[in-house]
Structure 1
Amino acid sequence: MKVDILGCNVDRIGMNETLQKIEEFIQSGKPHHIITLNAEIIYKAQSDSRLKEIINEADLVTPDGSGVVWASRYLNAPVPERVTGIDLTLRLAELAPKKGWTFYFYGGAPAVAEAAAENLQKKHKGLQVAGTCHGYISETEKQNLLANIRKKKPDILLVALGAPRQEFWIRDHQKNLQVPVCIGVGGSLDVISGRAKRAPVFFQKAGLEWLYRLMKEPHRIGRMTALPKFSLLVRLKGRRQ
Structure 2
Amino acid sequence: MDSISIMGVRINNVTMDEVLNIIKDKIKNNKQYIIYTPNTEFVMMCQEDEEFLNYMNKSDINIPDGIGLIYAAKLKGLPLKEKVAGYDLSVNMLEMANKNNLKLYAIGSKPGVAETAMKKVHEKYPNISIVGSHHGYFKGSHLGIKGHEEELQVIKEINEAKPDILFVGFGAKKQEQWIQYNKDILNAKIIIGNGGTLDGLAGNVKRAPDIFIKLGLEWFYRLIKEPKRITRQIVLPIFMIKVLFGGKKIVNLIK
Q: Which residue of 2 aligns with 1:136?
A: 137
Q: Is the 8 A contact 1:32 1:174 kept in 2?
A: no
SS at match of 2:172: coil
Alpha-carbon distance in structure 1 between the residues aligned to 2:156 and 2:16: 32
Choose from 172, 176, 180 the match for 2:181: 172
**RMSD value over aligned CA atoms?**
1.6
Q: Which residue of 2 aligns with 1:37?
A: 38
Deviation, 1:77, is: 1.6
Alpha-carbon distance in structure 1 between the residues aligned to 2:126 and 2:187: 27
> Which runs of no fewer than 5 residues in structure 1 stay unpaired?
none
Q: Which residue of 2 aligns with 1:71?
A: 72
Alpha-carbon distance in structure 1 between the residues aligned to 2:248 and 2:109: 41
Range that drifts further, 117-126 or 229-238? 229-238
Alpha-carbon distance in structure 1 between the residues aligned to 2:73 and 2:173: 21
SS at match of 1:57: coil
Deviation, 1:30, is: 3.2
% identical equivalent positions = 37
Deviation, 1:167, is: 0.9
User: 1:133-192: CA deviations, max 9, x gaps?
Assistant: 111234543221111011111011101111121111111111110322111111111111
SS at match of 2:37: strand
Mapping 1:104-115, distance limit 5 Å: 104-115=105-116
Query: Partner letter of residue 232 of structure 1?
Result: I
Alpha-carbon distance in structure 2 between the residues aligned to 1:176 and 1:156: 15
Alpha-carbon distance in structure 2 between the residues aligned to 1:111 and 1:96: 23
- Moved beyond 4 Å, runs of 4+: 238-241
Q: Which residue of 2 aligns with 1:152?
A: 161
Choose from 200, 207, 211 the match for 1:191: 200
Alpha-carbon distance in structure 2 between the residues aligned to 1:195 and 1:209: 17
Q: Is the 8 A contact 2:158 2:187 kept in 1?
A: no
Choose from 214, 233, 238 the match for 1:205: 214
Q: Is the 8 A contact 1:36 1:84 kept in 2?
A: yes
Q: Is the 8 A contact 1:15 1:88 kept in 2?
A: yes
Q: Does 1:214 align with 2:223?
A: yes
Number of aligned residues: 241
> Which runs of no fewer than 5 residues in structure 2 stay unpaired?
140-147
Q: Is the 8 A contact 1:29 1:179 kept in 2?
A: no
Q: Which residue of 2 aligns with 1:102?
A: 103
User: 1:54-98: CA deviations, max 9, x gaps?
Assistant: 222210110001111111111212112211111011101111122
Deviation, 1:99, is: 2.2
